[in-house]
Homo-oligomer: A and B are copies of this chain.
């Protein structure tokens, strides 16, 4: 167990004081900056010491071979993995010949501050060299939300005790040494110096480097320019070679004077554009950034975030650390998705190389609900990215002998990258999840253009997959056999309840969109017979239920499997997948992550309240939460069935997953979906918000530990604020048309005036138990 970084608690920022080399890799992920297009790990300005140097461009990947001990038809042969591109954030300092390095000399003061309102990362260090020369280094960096190709850094150094000779080197550095992910020598080979130099140039205080990736052939250009206050040109030199461009400033600085430098970095990449075209692109981005200037870049970053928080903030009373964690989570979700545009939102955002930089179903089920209700244009962009992979998904379906579209389980470019088919190819629920997010987005925003251009086709092609994957048995029931649901401790089962209910929803939404958009339906070749088939399959979808136990089955026969022997499973044997074979996990009643429980949230309409209570109780006792995707779904259902304190515990767990490093792997990147789950527990859990098509309902309730919860959502162009206390809830519209809502089953219309409604008495559901060692996280 490694040490954990400690942060000062504050409502709008994350502050790390002191310096501990052991937690530096974690800090780099937690303090990552991103606009969804460019991602910078929170590496120190001076480049070293470093856990993992990280500069990422969304969608820029390298190919590597996927090896198999025994191959099979349809196994993906090419993997994709995110590449650490040219590092433009490094600024090295030499104090009287000594390199400024936090490992040597003495760190007198140090703090890192991630500011959720300014969208910048600030650093403030007082450091003395081994010969006792002390300097103060302050820097502030941002990845611009408003100019997506641009990074800007303000860097200041000040001699504290005496006049000093200082040298500052500002670099673009390609092909940094990176520890290989995992033990596969082929993957390590693919990622060893992945960038091939094409072009380098420098002049005055600027430089540009162009590279392409060795196997995937993607071209990337990076450029930098600098502004220096009160420094004559003749102290600056600039140089560029294949993998390095460097501007050097050598100055004598008097004690108390400050050398201030502003560095602008721009990135561009493309699979098609030429080296001159990409160079022109980054030059233009730099010119625009300089024209805007540091102060305006900072001001616009703040404006962008002010606008975001004004309709996205969640306020709580009663837990200041949780308040901080909630805002951290929302900020990181925003960073992951804000300007991704035609690129995926990956499981780690752009904060690390975990999962190879791949996007999973995390995006649609966990992240997009947040964006749909707080930054709908980002949700639309993410869905347009999925749509851009539709041809690949259709090709994949055909390759696997199916019709319609079968989206990749994990991918960067849309092609399947899963090297373990029972938990990849065999998990088609990702396709229904995409359809679900599509339908929810359109209903929530009323974005008709999106539905016409993208949504209808997504719903139709995904519906076609289910008709191909499923079949009517001799009694007319519609079965989907041999698939894997969300729970990765169960695989290749018949009629996974989550999959079947999500497929049912997909089919129903496809019928509806074809009725709403007959022109598009015709263009897509949909016939009345086809929609009748969809309706029929949806109507007769198998929903496994065990009448003896009175609970639904996660999949057919699941409740007849042996129970996992939790009593004999020591705490050190979690996560189970590192200590037991899939063979054993699959054949027993042990659940890695919310599956049926998550279905009860997403498809709550398919269950009665009593069924939810019984099912929740049954599956809580089986769920070990070895996946970070679990706690939030459990939290929502816990709140719904009345386990408010348990829901609170799950909220804490999902909100603190990275700040408290609960999965011991934050160094490889943040758990963006779990962070998005923070919103889910607040809004859908304690707010009880459910969206069924264009119908919006609430059923707020708070645990004793929270005195107040206030959240805002965007809904069909309006911003709705919900303010919940122990006894009542107040709904208020921040502009827009009056809307019909439901409060604990009671319909009402909300106009310009806020409406306050009382909360019912909380339910008293039966106690639930958790597997040994699997109770929710509680802070010390």
Interface residues of A (CB under 8 A from B): 66-70, 72-76, 79, 184, 186, 399-402, 418-422, 425-426, 471, 473-474, 479, 481-483, 491-492, 494, 548, 556-557, 560-562, 577-584, 586-588
Could you show 28 A-B contacts with beta carbons less than 8 Å apart?
A66-B69, A67-B68, A67-B184, A67-B186, A68-B68, A68-B419, A68-B420, A69-B79, A70-B418, A70-B419, A72-B420, A72-B577, A72-B581, A73-B580, A74-B583, A400-B584, A422-B422, A425-B583, A471-B562, A474-B560, A479-B561, A479-B562, A481-B588, A482-B586, A494-B557, A494-B561, A556-B557, A557-B557
A418 and B69 alpha carbons, distance in the complex (Å): 8
CB-CB under 8 A from A184, the residues of chain B are 67
CB-CB under 8 A from A419, the residues of chain B are 68-70
Given known A-B contacts A74-B583, A586-B482, A69 and B420 have beta carbons under 8 A apart: yes
Top 7 A-B pairs ranked by shortest CB distance? A69-B419, A482-B587, A74-B581, A67-B67, A66-B69, A471-B562, A70-B420
Nearest Cβ in chain B — how far from A617, in angstroms?
17
A400 and B473 alpha carbons, distance in the complex (Å): 36
Number of this chain's copies in the complex: 2
A473–B560 CB distance below 8 A: yes
A561 and B72 alpha carbons, distance in the complex (Å): 22
CB-CB under 8 A from A494, the residues of chain B are 557, 560-561
Residue with the highest number of chain B CB atoms closer than 10 Å, among A402, A581, A583: A583
A561–B482 CB distance below 8 A: yes
B69–A580 CB distance below 8 A: no
CB-CB under 8 A from A483, the residues of chain B are 587
CB-CB under 8 A from A420, the residues of chain B are 68-70, 72
Nearest Cβ in chain B — how far from A668, in angstroms?
15
A586 and B557 alpha carbons, distance in the complex (Å): 17
Nearest Cβ in chain B — how far from A468, in angstroms?
10
In this complex, what residue of B is CB-closest to A580?
B401
CB-CB under 8 A from A402, the residues of chain B are 584
A401 and B548 alpha carbons, distance in the complex (Å): 30
Query: Of the candidates B70, B399, B577, which one forms a contact with A73 in the assembled complex, judged by CB atoms under 8 Å apart?
Result: B577
In this complex, what residue of B is CB-closest to A399?
B581
Query: Of the candidates B401, B561, B562, which one forms a contact with A584 in the assembled complex, judged by CB atoms under 8 Å apart?
Result: B401
A581–B491 CB distance below 8 A: no
CB-CB under 8 A from A72, the residues of chain B are 420, 577, 581-582
A70 and B425 alpha carbons, distance in the complex (Å): 13
Query: Of the candidates B68, B400, B474, B586, which one forms a contact with A583 in the assembled complex, judged by CB atoms under 8 Å apart?
Result: B400
A327 and B579 alpha carbons, distance in the complex (Å): 51
CB-CB under 8 A from A588, the residues of chain B are 481-482
User: Interface SS of chain A: helix, strand, loop or mixed?
Assistant: loop
A69–B70 CB distance below 8 A: no
A584 and B470 alpha carbons, distance in the complex (Å): 11
CB-CB under 8 A from A69, the residues of chain B are 66-68, 75-76, 79, 419-420
6 extra A-B contacts, CB within 8 A, seeds A479-B560, A556-B557: A69-B419, A70-B418, A73-B579, A425-B581, A473-B560, A481-B557
In this complex, what residue of B is CB-closest to A187?
B69
B481–A581 CB distance below 8 A: no
A588 and B480 alpha carbons, distance in the complex (Å): 10
A561–B481 CB distance below 8 A: yes
A577 and B74 alpha carbons, distance in the complex (Å): 10
Given known A-B contacts A69-B79, A492-B491, A556-B557, A421 and B583 have beta carbons under 8 A apart: yes
Nearest Cβ in chain B — how far from A330, in angstroms?
32
A227 and B401 alpha carbons, distance in the complex (Å): 64
CB-CB under 8 A from A492, the residues of chain B are 422, 491-492, 586-587
Query: Of the candidates B68, B73, B562, B577, which one forms a contact with A581 in the assembled complex, judged by CB atoms under 8 Å apart?
Result: B73
Nearest Cβ in chain B — how far from A67, in angstroms?
4
Nearest Cβ in chain B — how far from A358, in angstroms?
12
Nearest Cβ in chain B — how far from A412, in angstroms?
15
Residue with the highest number of chain B CB atoms closer than 10 Å, among A402, A420, A483, A581: A581
A481–B587 CB distance below 8 A: yes
Residue with the highest number of chain B CB atoms closer than 10 Å, among A76, A399, A482: A482
A72 and B582 alpha carbons, distance in the complex (Å): 8
Given known A-B contacts A68-B68, A560-B473, A482 and B583 have beta carbons under 8 A apart: yes
A157 and B595 alpha carbons, distance in the complex (Å): 77
CB-CB under 8 A from A561, the residues of chain B are 479, 481-482, 494
B562–A400 CB distance below 8 A: no
A426–B583 CB distance below 8 A: yes
Nearest Cβ in chain B — how far from A432, in angstroms?
16
In this complex, what residue of B is CB-closest to A576?
B73
A422 and B586 alpha carbons, distance in the complex (Å): 11
In this complex, what residue of B is CB-closest to A542?
B560
CB-CB under 8 A from A586, the residues of chain B are 482, 492
In this complex, what residue of B is CB-closest to A568?
B401
B581–A421 CB distance below 8 A: yes
Nearest Cβ in chain B — how far from A415, in angstroms?
14
A479 and B588 alpha carbons, distance in the complex (Å): 11
CB-CB under 8 A from A399, the residues of chain B are 581
In this complex, what residue of B is CB-closest to A184?
B67
A492 and B588 alpha carbons, distance in the complex (Å): 12
A437 and B560 alpha carbons, distance in the complex (Å): 32
CB-CB under 8 A from A401, the residues of chain B are 580-581, 584
CB-CB under 8 A from A479, the residues of chain B are 560-562
A481 and B75 alpha carbons, distance in the complex (Å): 26
A75 and B420 alpha carbons, distance in the complex (Å): 12
Nearest Cβ in chain B — how far from A171, in angstroms?
35
A420 and B75 alpha carbons, distance in the complex (Å): 12
Nearest Cβ in chain B — how far from A564, in angstroms?
10
In this complex, what residue of B is CB-closest to A469?
B587
CB-CB under 8 A from A79, the residues of chain B are 69
CB-CB under 8 A from A562, the residues of chain B are 471, 479, 481
A581–B400 CB distance below 8 A: yes
Nearest Cβ in chain B — how far from A318, in angstroms?
41
A474 and B561 alpha carbons, distance in the complex (Å): 10
In this complex, what residue of B is CB-closest to A569?
B401
A355 and B421 alpha carbons, distance in the complex (Å): 22
A69 and B71 alpha carbons, distance in the complex (Å): 10
Nearest Cβ in chain B — how far from A474, in angstroms?
7
CB-CB under 8 A from A73, the residues of chain B are 577-582
A556 and B425 alpha carbons, distance in the complex (Å): 23
